[in-house]
Chains A and B, each alone.
Chain A
Amino acid sequence: MTTPPPTVDLHSEGEHATLVLGGSWRLQQRLPRLVQAERMLDRAPGATQLGFDTSALTDWDSGLVTFIAGLNQLCERRGIACQAEGLPAGLRKLLTLARSVPQTGRGGHATRPAPSFVARVGTDAMDLMQSTGEIMEFFGEGALAFRRFLLGRARFKQSDLWVIMQEAGADALPIVGLVSFLVGMILGYIGEQQLKQFGAQIYVADLVGLATVIQMGALVTAIVLAGRTGAAFAARIGTMQVNEEIDALRTLGIPPMEFLVLPRMLALIAMTPLLAVYANLLGILGGAFVGTVVGGLTLSAYMTQTQLAIGWNHIIQGLIAATVYGAIVAASGCLRGMQCGRSAAAVGEATTSAVVTAIVFIVIAAAVLTIIFDAVGLS
């Protein structure tokens, strides 16, 4: 047996109109739209009273309630009085309940106007000031924590430091190695194609070696670490913030700055240069692969040329840069984690923000360091 489809019809006699509802008014059915009722009312212009006839109605649910609620508002606007008596008793109760909701719900929220342009600029400026203040405070506290570390009085667990060093350092070897090798290959290809025109393929070794050791090795390492470790720091500390674990540390008088941030900073400052050395080696190997396979050089010629090109000053530049990048990645991860709000969404924002902050500041630092190295004559 199929359920009868919902029907709606309007009988009008002068002032008095009756809406005849029939069939099954359920959400699964194709329900009549409110405009249909509106059109019917248009065809009965003289009506001032609307009654209901539900004798043919077999069953109903929220579908009918919302239809009638909409109809009520429609009638109110047209100055038609609805006589609810003809409706099922349960439906009348639900209608009263639904009508009482918007009145209580229309508290302070909906009426608040959108802030003007000036107000938005002002709020943004104040937010910026506040976040600058927070960042300053973070670095101030960080410096104090570092001083206590140097005096041997910092409160953190040695075992934490080793675990973080392993997670951030040793565990990152495969990905750092792969990316560095490929970047070395890319540099090698570009160099090989250009230098081939002059018969100077051997200088691929100089190009790849210098680019990698001075900048690319450290940069690739730092960007991999920002995505891998910086994000993990922010998520870890952010989640601790959500779970009140940071509060628990604070109430026990254990400064989170020393217990959580310091070991992470130390671990990355120590591990990033080491990873960068490894990245340099793999980058040069990537270049050598292209130089020998595509460029037809011998491996020993390539390596000798690389040795001639790279000086200690280049290696030192790369390592200083790597140390700075490591500190930037750790600081942005921890800062965004500590600033994290108390919800799952806030942890997501903190993680995103940690990676973005780290990469922006790495690139800025790369530019500044290049200028400094040039000024002090390292390059």
Chain B
Amino acid sequence: MSTTDDKPAEQPHIRLDGVSLGYGDTLVQQGLSFDIRRGDVFVIMGGSGCGKSTVMRCLTGLLPPWSGRVLLGGESLWELPSAQRSACMRRNGVMYQSGALWSSMTLEENICLPLEQYTRLAPEQIRAIAEYKLALVGLAGYGDYYPSEISGGMRKRVGVARAMALDPDTLYFDEPSAGLDPLSARRLDELILELRDSLGTTMVVITHELDSIFTIADDAVFLDAETKTMLATGNPRELRDHSSVPQVRAFLTRGEVSADAAA
């Protein structure tokens, strides 16, 4: 089912091994086992409420799994002592659904904060890096604005810039196109691809937007809310055309296939 493997011997960038997740005593997802290859744009897809964001919270070190292992470059994230886990977490950048910019700081300060905390660079070097990151997302010159003064699409772009502040190995995007007009959503998709191509960063994108999925994804996993597990992995286009699982094909064709199957 998986797509062409260039180097099958290479260790996966991220590997989930029998992970199950939940809040309190509510199970969200179980039996998650999949690999994310280095340099891929990997999409976690599924209907609303299926636990996509929960999986991301686990991968980024915010929510411990009930069972199973999350391997980042061979190291089990949740079995590391907390100092090393914290170092592991810093190799991730996350763009949150609403941007999650720190509202009391200017855009530049938002990007500078992680650099101030974790590098020994001089203030003017840090400012130069912040300007460069803002320019990468197409917002050069906006450093002195506050998050409340810019539009939703711009906030998400700044969220990307901040996520890239420490030059992470993996960038996570939580619903990048949610709440954006089609053009801004598309520009964000293009930005994801450009950044991947120029920086080689692995991108993990959580979304249910079909346009986005088909545009950006190299590889994907489909999570189901009813069975609370993954139903398929692979390239979304191939899944749409060849998957044997009716829910997956229904999702990827906006329900057209499932309507045929039911008739």
Contacts and interface: CB of A to CB of B under 8 A. Distances in A.
B89 interface: yes
Contact of B103 (A243, A247, A254): A243
Contact of B98 (A244, A249, A251): A244
A245 B103 contact: yes
Contacts of B96: 244, 247-248
A165 to B, nearest CB: 15
Contacts of B60: 251
B87 A253 contact: yes
B97 interface: yes
B49 to A, nearest CB: 13
Contacts of B151: none
Given A253-B87, A253-B89, A253-B90, A248 B117 contact: no
Nearest to A242: B98
Interface string B55-81: 001001110000000000000000000
B216 interface: no
Interface residues of B, number: 25
A240 B104 CA distance: 10
Max chain B CB contacts within 10 Å: which of A157, A250, A252, A254? A252
A250 B102 CA distance: 12
B118 A253 contact: yes
Contacts of A155: 117
B114 A254 contact: yes
Contacts of B195: none
Given A251-B62, A253-B89, A253-B118, A243 B94 contact: no
Contact of A247 (B62, B86, B117): B62
Interface string B9-46: 00000000000000000000000000000000000000
A175 B165 CA distance: 43
A250 B61 CA distance: 9
A364 to B, nearest CB: 30
B98 A252 contact: no
B87 A248 contact: no
Given A252-B117, A252-B166, A254-B114, A243 B98 contact: yes
B100 A243 contact: yes
A253 B100 contact: no
B89 A254 contact: no
B103 A253 contact: no
Contacts of A250: 61-62, 89
Interface string A123-162: 0000000000000000000000000000000010100000
B61 A251 contact: yes
Contacts of B100: 243-245, 247-248
A259 B138 CA distance: 29
Contacts of A243: 98, 100, 103
Residue of A239, A248, A251 most packed against chain B (CB within 10 A): A251
Contact of A244 (B86, B97, B162, B166): B97
Interface string B144-171: 0000000000000000001001100000
Contact of B114 (A157, A240, A247, A252): A252
Contacts of A251: 60-62, 89, 92-94
B103 A248 contact: no
Contacts of A252: 89-90, 113-114, 117-118, 165-166
B87 A247 contact: no
B101 interface: yes
B163 to A, nearest CB: 9
Contacts of A247: 57, 62, 94, 96, 100
A245 B148 CA distance: 14
B24 to A, nearest CB: 9
24 contacts: A155-B117, A239-B103, A240-B102, A243-B103, A244-B96, A244-B97, A244-B98, A244-B100, A245-B101, A245-B103, A247-B57, A247-B94, A247-B96, A248-B96, A248-B101, A249-B102, A250-B61, A250-B89, A251-B89, A252-B90, A252-B113, A253-B87, A253-B118, A254-B113
Given A250-B61, A253-B87, 4 more contacts: A245-B100, A250-B89, A251-B92, A253-B118
Interface of B: 57, 60-62, 86-87, 89-90, 92-94, 96-98, 100-103, 113-114, 117-118, 162, 165-166
